[in-house]
Chain A
């Protein structure tokens, strides 16, 4: 991993006590299914929160409501003190400030790696092409795929694609980054290269909400672990406490299952 400098990224230098993302009494239904129930969560600047829980517990949905890829039915979501806008230009602007990394990478298949990273800054942030591409190359270098800049996504390994996806999100200089199971579509030997990039990001002070079952990452980088089941947050604790002394039966049961792997 090439670490080019130690400057904190984005505008989210650690300043604890000041919440950057706040969810207040959030409720969401899919038809009759209550997928998010009474969700209250506050994430401070520079904080790294890992969300963990069984399949179908609503982790992805939670992640996606924060940049309003999914609308909520009631409650409130604030990012940097402002409520999420409805559809339209204001929402697009909000999304530009919230980076998102998907399980399936979702790199733009018809664009080169460099274009993938520079597209948002050019079209959304209206940066000059040269400046955007120069910055994109720096980011690609930082995530260790600079030499692939002119290839297309399909020509890269999964781990490389996911690192490019992280660079693409970082290029927007987001205030917070959301990760939805960023390593679960990867072969085991590629997981570490992606987690290394994420740990580096955490160390630089990026505010992160990460859905993952990688306990190693949670232990190294997370300030807090949030455990979800059936659409509710059942437990919130620091990683050490959560992994060694989970409070609820659901959490103990769940940890028992993933530890066996």
Chain B
């Protein structure tokens, strides 16, 4: 007990790393996921094929496998050799999360009435303009709840990199428990509370966005 609270700066430091991982991975996964979704609904057959293969492949593979690939296997291929661990973690988590983002956005795109994209084409917008100005802004609105779930799952998934030498929240918790077996419950509660706060922040942001957009109509 002493240990968790007297070393609370270590807890905060670990959660700060978790926040960095979640934020960087979230941004990267959103960008890659949006690109994948646009490729899947786009006019170029090759890109459609590439995107749907990637989505199928990665969605059906465990996160741990992706991490082993990025942290352990890829240096053998000459990839990510001198990449810092934080960046490796971000790469692994965002590569893994992007297909879920893509599927959420694609369902959002399908929820936008076809007449919207048709009207945009009829005034001479290119596919990219159509996506950027007409379809995606409306798709994102329908996508907020599933995207929030995806980002929440991703935030919790950042704990996987504890195995690969990144002292984020879960790795720090393991260290505390190893050193203070008697305080297991208290330590668990402290770290669980930390994760709950992060997840609740995402939920609140999603709720805020939904309210904001409802008001704008």
Interface residues of A (CB under 8 A from B): 67, 69, 87, 89, 92-100, 102, 104, 106-110, 119-120, 123-124, 152, 154, 165, 168-169, 172
Contacts and interface: CB of A to CB of B under 8 A. Distances in A.
Contacts of B119: 100, 102, 106-108, 165, 168
A110 B135 CA distance: 10
A108 B118 contact: no
A94 B125 CA distance: 10
B129 interface: yes
Given A102-B115, A119-B133, A110 B122 contact: no
Interface in B91-125: 113, 115-116, 118-125
The interface residues of chain B, by DSSP majority, are classed as helix
A94 B217 CA distance: 32
Contact of A124 (B115, B129, B137): B129
Given A87-B43, A108-B134, A110-B137, A120 B125 contact: yes
B116 A109 contact: yes
Contacts, number: 69
B138 A168 contact: no
Contacts of A99: 122-123
B115 A172 contact: no
Contacts of B121: 69, 92, 95
- Central interface residue in A106, A107, A119, A154, by most chain B CB within 10 Å: A106
B213 to A, nearest CB: 8
Interface of B: 43, 113, 115-116, 118-126, 129, 133-134, 137-138, 141, 216-217
Given A109-B217, A152-B217, 16 more contacts: A69-B122, A87-B43, A96-B123, A100-B119, A100-B122, A102-B122, A107-B119, A108-B120, A109-B116, A123-B133, A124-B124, A124-B125, A152-B216, A168-B119, A169-B122, A172-B123
A120 B141 contact: no
Contact of B124 (A87, A109, A172): A172
Given A108-B116, A108-B120, A110-B141, A92 B125 contact: yes
A106 B115 contact: yes
Nearest to A178: B122
B118 A123 contact: no
A124 B120 CA distance: 10
A147 B133 CA distance: 24
Q: Which residue of A93, A95, A107 has the most chain B CB atoms within 10 A of its CB atom?
A: A95
B137 A92 contact: no
Contact of B118 (A89, A106, A154): A106
Contacts of B123: 95-96, 99, 119-120, 124, 168-169, 172
B129 A102 contact: no
B125 A123 contact: yes
Contacts of A109: 116, 138, 217
